[in-house]
A and B are shown apart, each in its own frame.
Chain A
Amino acid sequence: MSAMSAILIALLVIGGIILLLIILFISTYNRLVTLRNRFQNGFSQIEVQLKRRYDLIPNLIETAKGYMAHERETLEAVIQARNQAAGGLQTASANPGNPQAMQALSGAEQLLTGALGKFFALSEAYPDLKANQNMMQLSEEITTTENKVAFARQAYNDAVTSYNTYRQTFPPIVIAGMVGHGQNAELLDFDSEQIAEAPKVSFT
């Protein structure tokens, strides 16, 4: 082997490796972006449903006010929790997947769920309210919306999981940090030990 062909072969090999690395880099980066877009779009579906839920709650409280005059504290607690959750949603939607924003939202949601649970439990004691057509419709719609949120949340969490998993596998983990994908996205979990169940509403 002469120096010439050795150099040449070495250069070709190096060139080939560089080329492969470039392609690998680009495709990894694009994949990361695609996966992130996917879970962000997933979050926007949750957002739509949560917004709907937050819009329904004031109507619910307004309807209940006339019947539950003595439970002002509970009603106010619901409204307050609702406002807090709406604020949390706003921050979270600007920054889906961000751990702080997601935890803040899920904390606020848990509070709201708790407050609503208490409200519905109390409302059991008011048969007139339970028989109110408006109230029946609203609580039915709130339950449906909660189911929709759960479904959208599942899709979001699936997308986040596949993003995180991909990010942590071998070739991507090398470059993920360099190109702004250094952090795991946060799952969105609304259930906690204290409030394991969604408010049960029954109007039978």
Chain B
Amino acid sequence: MTNLAAPTLRVILYEGAGSAGLPDGIRAELMLTLLQRGYGVSSVRNGGTLAGLERGSVLVMGRFADQTPPQAMDTSGQVSVHFRDIDGMDAAAALATVDAVREEAKIGKPGGWKPWFPVIDYGRCTNCMQCLSFCLFDVYGVSKENQIQVQHQNNCKTDCPACSRVCPEVAILFPKYRQGPINGDEIDPEDLRREAMKVDISALLGGDIYLALRDRSAKAKSRFSKERDEDKALKERMRCLQKLSDQMEIPAEVLAALPSADQIAAKAAAAKAKAEAALNAANAS
């Protein structure tokens, strides 16, 4: 699990006073290389301004040969500033320099986590708490004001958009999802109709998809264990799970990682109680 509070290294390609300019091709290639590795990188040209940094480390790279590097100041004491001359370096050598500074500053490698988590469109959200009741992984919580919020992004199961399927208002986005409106595309009436149908599927299954999936999986296992045909049992189990996972678009890895039926029931009850408490508190205030 990634530590979202860990410090990061930000790279600045500096081409202002005290640093010669980079050739266009080199600048673009270097930026692309760093971004692909997961580093944020800013291009600062003469007179340019950038967003400040309040924590972590910043590495200023430029062609400082025979010149004095620009002065940078950290008034907060929470930002460390490093300078490196990259005159004559290609993108690979510059990347190695960045990696070395990161290690020297004891900063973890960037990336390693696909940032997949729900984002709430509060313009649509009605605070119904269905997402909180549905999610078994404690991604959701409530604020002091009893408003639903995403509290543990990195608990979310990568590529699983299931909670967005139970949202009656299409208010849950996954920006990296392949299709609209879950990816943030505008919502049209046809989307609302389609999403409502998927909520109906959830209701038909007793309102608890996870329990239904477990139940069907267990039934399939039990039936075929009597026949002593493991291959056939596995195929049937996969078919049952596949059918439901297709409807809810739950990745197979998430299904495989589901806890026991008892644990699911306990988690679902706890989430439901939390949601009801938040709703009652919101109604009372």
Tell whether A pairs with B: no
Residues of B that sit less than 8 Å from A by CB: none
